[in-house]
A and B are shown apart, each in its own frame.
Chain A
Amino acid sequence: MTGDPAAEGSGAGGRPPRGPRPDGPRGGSAARAAVPRTGRPGPLWAVPGLLYFAFFAALPMVLVAYLSLTEWGGLGTPRFVGMENWSRLTADPLMRKAVGLSLLLTVLSWAVQTPISLLLGVWAAGRQRSRAVLSAIFFLPLLLSSAAIALIWRALLDPNFGPLAWLGPRLGLGSVDVLGGTNSAFLVIVFVSAWQFIPLHMLLYQGGARQIPPSLYQAAEIDGAGRLLAFWHITLPQLRHTVTTSSVLMVVGSLTYFDTVLIMTGGGPGTSTTIVPFLMYRAGFESWELGYASTIAFTLVLVATVVSLLMVRFTGFGNMRSTREGM
């Protein structure tokens, strides 16, 4: 597999379909003279990956826009119906409620997960052995699939068989059915998503905190700044890119949170945990209105694209700038 495009692309730099400067390195003629050109891969090396990605990830983004204008029951060909789905969407009370719940979930998740993962991540960045041992345990939830996590918490919160059923009467609460209450079920979703994702964000903050140069803290110490001041004036500003990245991941993650809802609450009780991705799943793969479901999905694509554009813009992913930029 590595062979063919490589052979075509070797030496002369290959010929991309539409590249404005097919074979010149950016450095100009001076750089070109200094660096031998043999061994530089042609752009064709990127073609297999690009085509593959385009076919299974980029093409669907375009298709979902088209499908949102059709009616399709899963068999046969989708039938074009124009803006019908879109007017239905704007009038759908379920969608309105789902958008509200999704936004609430996003805001709550961010508010719960960011401070906890920031503080624990910075703490875990310490080089002591004890901290390393604890962080190794902290990251264990990352190994579990969301299906597994949802099942574990369902079992733990079961009103009849779980620890909660055992604990409830002993605390004088009687039987506690947190998944049966409209508000409590939603809060359970917030909690379980925090349990699942805080380890990931903790990891991001740990990595970010380890890149902060110790000299900054030494300088602060000489100035007589304590831990809190140093945290506020050094750690937080230095972690700003990490905060952005982690927040974007949290936002996209919460907007598309799905597996846990399906397994733990099934969108209920009633529609109290029917967030947008779940509504899409129900419309698409339970009611088999795939056209309408695509309309819901397309709103997700739009939001995700906007968020990812902002991410590339503000975090400097594109040019790999360092977090310490400007120091």
Chain B
Amino acid sequence: MSVHTAERPTSQQRPGGRRPAALRWRAGRQRPNVLGWLGALVWLAIVGVPLYALLVATVQRSENYTAEGPLTPPSDPTLDNYVKAVENGVLGFVLNTAVVTVAVVAIVLVLAAMTGFAVVRSRTRWTSGVFRLFLLGLAIPSQAVIIPVYLIILELGLYDTLTAIVLPTAAFALPVCVLILVGSMRDISEELYEAMALDGAGSVRTFLQLVVPLSRSGLSTIGVYAALQAWNGFLFPLILTQSMESRVITMGLYEFQGEYRVDVPGLLTAVVLATVPLFIVYLFARRSLVQGMMGVGGK
């Protein structure tokens, strides 16, 4: 126990005070948390240096990449790698991925919203059973069921299509999304439902005019979450698609790796291009993204 406490390099942000003269620091002031900052800066380096090296490599000419060292800013920056990546069809892969992502998000939004509404408002044992099934689904790894999914997709005649990626990806995003949405729909107050009911609204009107508008933040959270899953998905495209026409960006990267073993800057440029759309989402919808992530375990 003492060992454990001794090596804590960080502490709380909240009023904590130092032991010797806690009372003196009480007015919300405390000494700077030196160990905490030290730890944070070390982690900043661990996260930042690879990302920096990634960006620097993409503006470097292949022949300079080895000569100049990875961390020095390139003496002769160039956008050739980006031009080359576009010529190699990266944008086509990005477009495929966008189609998959939009479809996954649409399916997830509709199904999770309906399921969430039923779970929250229709208090039968049956719906709470449904909810428990989704909870169990939370921890079912897609790797474990990929073979039957492959069989199902073959039987449906969907192998090597974008639909083949969309269907299971949305299914595996559903449990988390239902969970998040149920959490946010539970916050809608009973009085509002009663007002709707007194107004004579049926369930469809209640859903469209009350539940959907008031769970906007939950809906955008799960939308972003589902988009992230679809955009970065690897296993389903790997197993369920094959040809160039249905290649999504993660597969594009995987294939590039084989083709461009030596052209590291070219490869890393494709990595950056694959991430730019998500980075834009991160800039504009960071709240939803972060809440979606926390929803997995925060509640």
Question: How many A-B pairs fall under 8 Å by CB?
Answer: 442
Instruction: Kindly identify which residue among A60, A147, A304 contacts B253, using a CB–CB cutoff of 8 Å.
Output: A147
Report if A39-B197 is in contact (Cβ < 8 Å); known contacts: A58-B133, A297-B146, A305-B140: yes
For chain B, residues 219 to 268, give those with C-beta under 8 angstroms from any C-beta of chain A. Answer: 228, 231-235, 238-239, 249-250, 253-254, 257, 262, 264, 267-268
For chain A, residues 207 to 257, give those with C-beta under 8 angstroms from any C-beta of chain B. Answer: 207-209, 211-212, 214, 217-218, 220-222, 224-232, 234-235, 242, 245-246, 248-249, 252, 255-256
- The CA of A217 and the CA of B30, in the complex, are separated in Å by 13
Instruction: Kindly identify which residue among A38, A56, A221 contacts B15, using a CB–CB cutoff of 8 Å.
Output: A221
Q: Is the CB of B57 within 8 A of A19?
A: no
Q: Is the CB of B147 within 8 A of A284?
A: yes
For chain A, residues 236 to 287, give those with C-beta under 8 angstroms from any C-beta of chain B. Answer: 242, 245-246, 248-249, 252, 255-256, 258-259, 262-263, 277, 280-281, 284-285
Chain A nearest CB from B104 CB (Å) reads 12
- The CA of A144 and the CA of B54, in the complex, are separated in Å by 12
- Is chain B's binding surface mostly helix, strand, loop or mixed? helix
Q: Is the CB of B10 within 8 A of A53?
A: no
Closest A residue to B250 by beta carbon equals: A147
Interface residue tally on B, bucketed by range: 35 or more
Q: Is the CB of A122 within 8 A of B19?
A: no
Q: Is the CB of A230 within 8 A of B11?
A: yes
Closest A residue to B202 by beta carbon equals: A10
Q: Is the CB of B234 within 8 A of A259?
A: yes
For chain A, residues 272 to 324, give those with C-beta under 8 angstroms from any C-beta of chain B. Answer: 277, 280-281, 284-285, 290, 293-294, 297-298, 300-301, 304-305, 307-309, 311-312, 315, 317-318, 320
Q: Is the CB of B122 within 8 A of A45?
A: yes
Residues of chain A contacted by B148 (CB below 8 angstroms): 59-61, 63-64, 67, 294
Q: Is the CB of A248 within 8 A of B139?
A: yes
Q: Is the CB of A39 within 8 A of B118?
A: no
Q: Is the CB of A263 within 8 A of B124?
A: no
For chain A, residues 1 to 55, give those with C-beta under 8 angstroms from any C-beta of chain B. Answer: 1-3, 5-7, 9-11, 13-14, 16, 18-27, 35-46, 48-50, 52-55
For chain A, residues 143 to 159, give those with C-beta under 8 angstroms from any C-beta of chain B. Answer: 143-148, 151-156, 158
The reply on A128 being an interface residue by CB < 8 A is yes
Q: Is the CB of B118 within 8 A of A301?
A: no
Q: Is the CB of A224 within 8 A of B19?
A: yes
Chain B nearest CB from A82 CB (Å) reads 18
Instruction: Kindly identify which residue among B26, B203, B232 contacts A221, using a CB–CB cutoff of 8 Å.
Output: B26
Residues of chain B contacted by A154 (CB below 8 angstroms): 257
Chain B nearest CB from A273 CB (Å) reads 16
The reply on B86 being an interface residue by CB < 8 A is no
Residues of chain B contacted by A137 (CB below 8 angstroms): 44, 47-48
Q: Is the CB of A227 within 8 A of B18?
A: yes
Chain A nearest CB from B217 CB (Å) reads 15
Q: Is the CB of A145 within 8 A of B203?
A: no
Binds B, one of A83-91, A93-101, A160-168, A180-188: A160-168
Residues of chain B contacted by A21 (CB below 8 angstroms): 124-125
Chain A nearest CB from B18 CB (Å) reads 5
Q: Is the CB of B139 within 8 A of A26?
A: no
Interface 1/0 per residue, B156-183 and A, CB below 8 Å: 0000000000011011101100110011
Q: What are 26 A-B interface contacts by the 8 Å CB criterion?
A: A5-B114, A11-B202, A36-B194, A39-B203, A42-B118, A48-B111, A58-B133, A60-B152, A67-B147, A120-B39, A140-B51, A142-B228, A145-B253, A151-B253, A155-B57, A155-B268, A161-B66, A161-B262, A166-B66, A199-B47, A224-B19, A259-B234, A262-B238, A284-B147, A300-B141, A300-B144
Beyond known contacts A145-B250, A221-B25, A284-B147: 10 more, CB 8 A cutoff: A26-B123, A50-B115, A53-B175, A56-B172, A64-B144, A143-B279, A207-B298, A214-B14, A217-B15, A305-B140
